[in-house]
Amino acid sequence: MGTRAGFRGRWRSLSPLPPPGRLRTLSLATLANTVGTGLWVTAAALYLTRFVGLTPTEVGWGLTVAGLVGLTASVPLGGLADRHDPRALRAILQLAQAAVAAAYLLVDSFPVFLLVATVDALLVSGNLAVRAALVAAVGGPEGRVHAFATLRAVANLGVTLGAGLAAFALVADTGWAYRLLVLGNVATYLVSAALIMRLPSYPPVRRPVRPRPGRALRDGRFLAVAGASAVLSLHWVALTLILPLWVVTRTDAPPVTVAAVLLVNTLLTVLFAVRLSGSARHAVPAAATMRRGGLVLAAGMLLWAATAVVPTAVAVGLLLVATVVYTVGDLWHSGAGAALAYDLAAPDAIGAYQGVDTLLAGLARAAGPALLTWLILDGGPIGWLALAGLLAVTGLAVPPLTRRALAHRAEPLPASGQPISSST
């Protein structure tokens, strides 16, 4: 009995799933959703090129155009979550995503692919903002950052499980195997929607004055902080796109090191996302955490730069050590970014502000591949140094930008919802 209880205790300490309750339900919905993401993302390129007949160029351009168009949905759908129950809205979006996921089975040309991918991207982008509003409702002011970190850990676990399951289809390499993955992705959206509807409803609070549309896009102080967080999010492009290419073209490390790097990042995220989010629940400590995250991320970039000039064994070890450093900075940035996006938002427009935050991060990640490819893969170690400098300076800028935004929040509001001071 003692051994069994000890095992359960160890499992609870390692599992990212929270205790039974509303957050557990939302976590299970996220797990189902991201298992489907892992299934689809792992095999999408091969399915579209080998069995639909698209060229790699068509797939690349299609996804790029769809992704940019998709960003336009984040603010309006986030605003919709402020006026309606975010639980019901997210469940509806999940059902719509299931339909669009199934539509990939009908793709037989580039125009059809572009249409389906664009609708898919619009739903994904809008769903991120709605999800953020739902997380705020489930977690409450004191628990929403913890909930955000929990869901991030669960999402990493789900994507990893989905990618592992997709490997069976990759081994089979047949049209039916890939179609089964598409259907599996559809099923996970349906399961996720059903789990979300098990949550209680969260009707919006009635306001005596209706918020002006587009307010979040005109909040310059919020845009400055969210923009700094978006710049820091370039580190994600560095890890997922630039570093793998760097390893195989500029270092003596074997290509399999790339898989080890991504595995280390995933495992550390699952294990420590919640633990490292505790110091960043409100704006002031979150700003300090993001400053620290920017400096740690910069250190990770410098370590990656050094891998080009060391022997094979040292390069492998340095890549793994740098990834540990990077992941700590990544988790600090992620938790602090969530806290700032919530705490600096107008209380009656959480969804709209989350939409703006999603939009800016999406723009940075859209520009990141071209920018960092030119900066690092063409520029060599100097490019890593430049990126490290950008991350460090941006992180250092967050606390003063946050203090400025908080000072603006402290100004009294007239009935129109605009600050009395006109010095903005």
pLDDT tens sequence for the chain (424 residues): 555 555 455 545 567 788 889 999 999 999 999 999 989 988 888 888 888 888 888 888 888 899 899 999 998 988 888 888 999 999 999 999 999 999 999 999 999 999 999 999 999 998 988 998 899 899 888 888 888 889 999 998 998 899 888 888 888 888 888 899 999 999 999 999 999 999 999 887 666 555 565 788 889 999 999 999 999 999 999 998 899 989 988 999 998 898 899 889 999 999 998 888 766 678 899 999 999 999 999 999 999 999 999 999 999 999 999 999 999 999 999 999 999 999 999 888 888 899 999 999 999 988 888 899 999 988 899 999 999 999 999 999 999 999 999 987 755 443 333 333 333 2
d(CA 89, CA 77): 9
Do 85 and 203 meet the contact criterion of CB atoms below 8 Å apart? Answer: yes
Can you tell me the distance from the alpha carbon of 19 to that of 82, in angstroms, rounded to the nearest whole number? Answer: 28
Rounded-to-integer distance, Cα 240 and Cα 245, Å: 9
CA distances from 212 to 149, 224, 373 (A): 31, 20, 40
Q: CA 385, CA 367: separation in Å to the nearest integer?
A: 19
Cα separation, 389 vs 379, whole angstroms = 15
Q: What per-residue confidence (pLDDT) applies to 205?
A: 67
**Residue 253: count of CB within 10 angstroms of its CB:** 25
Q: Which two tokens stand for residue 40?
A: 């689809």
Cα torsion 206, 208, 214, 219: sign: negative
Assess contact for 181 and 166: CB atoms under 8 A: yes
Residue-range domains of the chain with CATH: 20-196 (1.20.1250.20), 216-409 (1.20.1250.20)
| DSSP 8-state assignment for residue 20 | S
Q: What is the pLDDT of residues 243-274, one digit of tens each?
A: 998 998 899 999 889 889 988 999 999 999 88
Residue 403 CA: distances (Å) to CA of 294, 365, 400 = 18, 26, 5
- Condensed to tens digits (0 to 9), the pLDDT of residues 131-180 reads 988 998 998 888 888 888 899 999 989 988 998 888 888 888 888 888 99
